Structure 1
Amino acid sequence: MPETEPTPLDSDCRNCFGLCCVALPFSAGTDFAADKRAGSPCRNLQTDFGCGIHERLRGEGYPGCTVYECFGAGQRVSQVTFGGRSWREDPAGAAPMVEVFPVVRQLHELLRHLTEALTLDAARPLHAELRAALEETDRLAGGTPEEIRAVDVPALRGRIAELLLRASELARACVPRRREHRGADLFGARLRGADLHGANLRGAMLVAADLSGADLRLADLTGADLRDANLAGADLGTALFLTQSQLTAARGDASTRLPTTLTRPTHWPTTATPAPASRPGGRRPSRRR
Structure 2
Amino acid sequence: MTELRADCSRCHGLCCVALPFPKSADFAVDKQAGKPCGNLRADYRCGIHDRLRESGYRGCTVFECFGAGQRVSRGSGWRASAADAERQFAWFGKVRELHEVLWHIEEALALPEAAAVRGDLIRVRDTVDAAAEDPGCDVGSLRQLALGPLRAASGLARGKGPDLGGAQLIGRDLRSRKLRGASLRGAVLVGADLRGVDLGRADLTGADLRGADLRGADLRRALFLTQPQLTAAVGDRTTLLSPEKDRPAHWS
TM-score, normalised by the number of residues in structure 1: 0.85
Unmatched 5+ residue regions in structure 1? 1-5, 270-289
- Indicate the SS of the match to 2:122: helix
Q: Corresponding residue for 2:87? A: 96
Structure 2's unaligned 5+ residue stretches are: none
The aligned amino acid for 2:37 is: C
Contact between 1:117 and 1:167, CA under 8 Å: does it hold in 2?
yes
- Normalized against structure 2, the TM-score is what? 0.97
* Alpha-carbon distance in structure 2 between the residues aligned to 1:14 and 1:103: 21
The residue number in structure 2 matching 1:283 is none
Amino acid at match of 1:165: R
2: CA distance between counterparts of 1:96 and 1:69? 20
User: What's 1:237 paired with?
Assistant: 220
Partner deviation per Cα, 1:179-233 (whole Å, 9 max, x = no partner): 2100000011111253210000000000111111111000000000001110000
Q: CA deviation at 1:155?
A: 2.2
Q: 2:155 aligns with which of 143, 151, 169?
A: 169
> Does the CA-based 8 Å contact 2:124-2:145 persist in structure 1?
no
| 3-state SS of paired residue (2:90) | helix
Work out the CA distance in 2 between the residues paired with 1:262 and 1:78: 26
- Give the structure 2 partner of residue 135 of structure 1: 126
Aligned partner (choices 15, 31, 36) of residue 31 of structure 2: 36
Q: Given the alignment, which residue of 25, 45, 53 partners 1:58? A: 53
Shift of 1:52: 1.0
The one-letter amino acid of 2:163's match is E
1:32 Cα deviation from its structure 2 partner: 0.7
Secondary structure (helix, strand or coil) at the match of 2:73 reads helix
- State whether residues 194 and 215 of structure 1, in contact with CA within 8 Å, keep that contact through their aligned partners in structure 2: no
Residues 191, 210 of structure 2: 8 Å contact kept: yes
Quote the residue 2:68 is aligned against. Answer: 73
* Conservation of the 8 A alpha-carbon contact between 1:193 and 1:215: no
8 Å Cα contact 2:211/2:233 also seen in 1: yes
For residues 143-184 of structure 1, the C-alpha deviation after alignment (integer angstroms, 9 at most, x for no partner) is 3xxxx22x22122212312221110000112xx5x2210000
Partner of residue 220 from structure 1, selected from 196, 200, 203: 203
Instruction: Return the alpha-carbon distance in structure 2 between the equivalents of residues 54 and 20 of structure 1.
Output: 13
CA distance in 2, matches of 1:220, 1:59: 32
2:113 counterpart letter in structure 1 = A
User: Residue type matched to 1:192 in 2?
Assistant: R
Distance 1:96 1:73 in 2: 14
Aligned ranges 1:192-211 → 2 under 5 Å: 192-211=175-194
- The higher radius of gyration belongs to 1
Question: C-alpha distance in 2, partners of 1:162/1:185?
Answer: 24
Q: In the alignment, does 2:8 pair up with 1:13?
A: yes
- Which residue number in structure 2 is paired with residue 86 of structure 1? 77
User: Which runs of structure 2 are paired with 1:247-266 in the superposition (5 Å)?
Assistant: 247-266=230-249
* Alignment RMSD (CA, Å): 1.1
Q: d(CA) in 2 for partners of 1:65 and 1:162?
A: 31
Aligned partner of 2:142 among 153, 156, 159 = 156
Distance 1:96 1:230 in 2: 40
Are the aligned partners of 1:209 and 1:228 in contact in 2 as well (CA < 8 Å)? yes
- Once the two structures are TM-superposed, the CA of residue 88 in structure 1 deviates from its matched residue by 1.7
Instruction: For 1:158 and 1:215, locate their aligned partners in 2 and report how far apart those are by CA, in whole Å.
Output: 30
Question: Any conservation in 2 of the 1:73–1:105 contact (CA below 8 Å)?
Answer: yes
Moved over 6 A (4+): none
* Distance 1:193-1:252 versus aligned 2 partners, 3 A rule: farther
Q: 1:250 Cα deviation (Å)? A: 0.4
Q: Which amino acid aligns with 1:51?
A: C
Deviates more, 1:230-239 or 1:159-168: 159-168
Distance 1:168 1:215 in 2: 17
In structure 2, the residue corresponding to 1:98 is in which secondary structure?
helix
Identity %: 54
Partners in 1 of 2:109 and 2:85 — Cα distance?
Answer: 36
Q: What is the CA-CA distance between 1:65 and the residue it aligns to? A: 0.3
TM superposition shift of 1:53: 1.1
Counterpart-to-counterpart distance in 2, 1:160 and 1:87 = 31
Q: Is the 8 A contact 2:190 2:211 kept in 1?
A: yes
